[in-house]
Amino acid sequence: MRSLQKQRAVVIGGSLGGLFSATTLRAAGWNVDVFETSSNQLESRGGGIVLQPDVLDALRFADVALPDPPGVASGERIYLDREDNHVEQLFMPQMQTSWSLLYRAMKNALPAEAVHAGETFVDFRNEGEQVVAQFESGREEQTDLLIGADGLRSTLRRRLLPEIVPAYAGYVAWRGLVAEPDLPLYAANTLRDRFTFQQGHEHSALAYLIPGDGDSTTVGGRRWNWVWYRKYSSEQLDKLLIDRHGVERSFSLPPGATKSDDVKQLRQDAKLLLGPTFRSLVDATEEPFMQPIVDLRAPKMVFGRVVLIGDAASVPRPHTAGSTAKAAANAHALALALSSTWQAGSTIDPILKRWQNQQLQRGKLMTDLGISLGDRLMNIAR
Ligand SMILES: Cc1cc2nc3c(=O)[nH]c(=O)nc-3n(C[C@H](O)[C@H](O)[C@H](O)COP(=O)(O)OP(=O)(O)OC[C@H]3O[C@@H](n4cnc5c(N)ncnc54)[C@H](O)[C@@H]3O)c2cc1C
């Protein structure tokens, strides 16, 4: 039964943004329930994530423990050319983790009964100072705060800001994961302990090690994570997004969905454009997956007692390595702000407004940076 002493938040979306919201708000003394449309565990689809300080700060506040070490360290960044010559080398220590590791750590920190899988949010209505979230199943949930952490194609954002839609940036990210022992030794020796790039004309590749099965960070038990940004026209993208069963996907191609001819073409292009190291990554990947790069920025994040966070509010391009960090920072700042409100017993509206002003600014800086980095890398003039 709901505690009378605590305010309640309902979070839509059980991916990283939703779990950051739930764990930090619980630490701030709120009752939180998470509703996720997918009825399966989400963890099998995750790839690499640069572990940013904002993520660690949020998890510390939420008292969520990470494995030790929480990822794989790299000491330097190197840039390769088409023949694998090192054209640039920078000392830039950082740590890479995996989407799955963060997901599991936060999910395990929540009581099982607080996460409701297979519940699709469809709409909401205001009832005085309360919001009622409505689900496809017919379920209704009354709450003090409704948090939209439902990602790029957020139903909540579509309901509140129907004119804000993702805009295709003109290129996609092909991605893949390879078990550490499955890469030829010459490529492994080039990539190990490093964050490696190959910059070509209108394409760009990068690779690094991330934890493997069971969050393993031991040598041999990790995974190579690679990304290859490539330009496609909107017409080419539409064709690419028809999956191997002839289904038109609207957003991305998960592992196993790409048509075999398109995978074959990707491998042929890799022979032409990539050096031996990156080529061997593409060759060793059984099921490459693809995400179009899009731009999206909502002008508001607070609508009375409804808020948008993470990708639902704005989507920085992946060159910033910052969308997970932004989701963490949005959630952490919200929890900090709301913990003080509740203790004071005052209304939360001015606090939500202040939070919005700060977080909109954060989103703007990050999305601007992503657009400028991405357009320069891909030689796109706007
Ligand atoms: C399965 C998965 C794997 C990912 N892997 C990576 C990765 O490897 N590297 C990386 O950098 N980023 C990855 N991302 C993206 C990254 O997690 C986000 O950019 C960032 O963490 C912020 O995400 P978010 O939680 O705001 O949005 P998202 O991660 O997009 O999550 C939105 C969630 O809301 C759910 N949802 C959508 N609509 C509804 C609805 N109507 N009702 C209920 N639930 C709904 C979705 O199923 C999803 O779980 C991944 C996302 C997903 C979903």
Tens of pLDDT, residues 254-270: 889 999 999 999 999 99
315 Cα nearest atom in ligand 1:
19
* Angle at the Cα of 81 from the Cα atoms of 77 and 85, rounded to 5 degrees: 80
Same domain (yes/no): 15, 136: yes
Domain boundary among 268, 294, 320: 294
Q: What is the 273 CA–ligand 1 centroid distance (Å)?
A: 31
Q: Which domain holds residue 124?
A: 8-44+100-166+295-378
- End residue of a domain, out of 234, 268, 294: 294
Q: What's 268's domain CATH number?
A: 3.30.9.60
Instruction: Look at the block and give the residue holding tokens 């994040």.
Output: 301
Same domain, residue pair 77 and 180: yes
Identify whether 151 is part of a domain: yes
Whether residues 116 and 158 fall in one domain: yes
Ligand 1 centre distance from Cα of residue 164 (Å) = 18
Residues 132 and 117 in one domain: yes
Q: What CA–CA distance (Å, rounded) separates 239 from 230?
A: 15
Same domain, 221 and 120: no
Question: What does DSSP say about strands 48-50 and 86-98: parallel, antiparallel, or unpaired?
Answer: antiparallel
Q: Of the candidates 294, 322, 349, which is a domain's last residue?
A: 294
Give kind and range of the element (H or E) at residue 92.
Answer: strand 86-98
Note whether residue 63 is domain-resident: no
Best probe residue, ligand 1, of 16, 51, 317 (max atoms within 8 Å of C-beta): 16
Which structure tokens are listed for 146? 């409704």
Q: How far is the CA of 153 from the centre of ligand 1 (A)?
A: 10
How many alpha carbons fall within 13 Å on the CB side of residue 343?
7
User: Both 188 and 133 in a single domain?
Assistant: no
Q: Which long-range contacts (CB under 8 A, 24 or more apart) does 113-116 make?
A: 114/22, 114/26, 114/32, 114/33, 114/34, 115/14, 115/22, 115/33, 115/34, 115/36, 116/33, 116/34, 116/35, 116/36
| Angle at which helices 53-62 and 99-109 cross, to 10° | 20
Q: Are the beta carbons of 380 and 327 closer than 8 angstroms?
A: no
DSSP element (H, E) containing 50: strand 48-50
Q: Please tell me the total count of domains within the chain.
A: 2
Q: What is the pLDDT of residue 1?
A: 36
Q: Are residues 195 and 265 in the same domain?
A: yes
Q: Residue 244 falls within a domain, yes or no?
A: yes
Q: What is the pLDDT of residue 2?
A: 39
Q: Residue 253 domain-assigned? A: yes
Low-confidence ranges of the chain (pLDDT < 50): 1-4
Pairing of strands 306-308, 194-200: unpaired
Task: Report the nearest-CA residue for atom 5 of ligand 1.
Answer: 46
Residue 91, Cα to own-chain centre: how many angstroms? Answer: 26
Instruction: Note whether 79 and 218 are same-domain residues.
Output: yes
pLDDT attached to residue 349? 92
Whether residue 79 is contained in a domain is answered as yes
Statement to judge: residues 238 and 128 lie in one domain: no
Which atom of ligand 1 is the closest one to the Cα of 154? 38
Q: Identify whether residues 272 and 184 lie together within a single domain.
A: yes
CATH number at residue 360: 3.50.50.60
Q: Counting atoms of ligand 1 from 1, which one is nearest the CA of 311?
A: 26
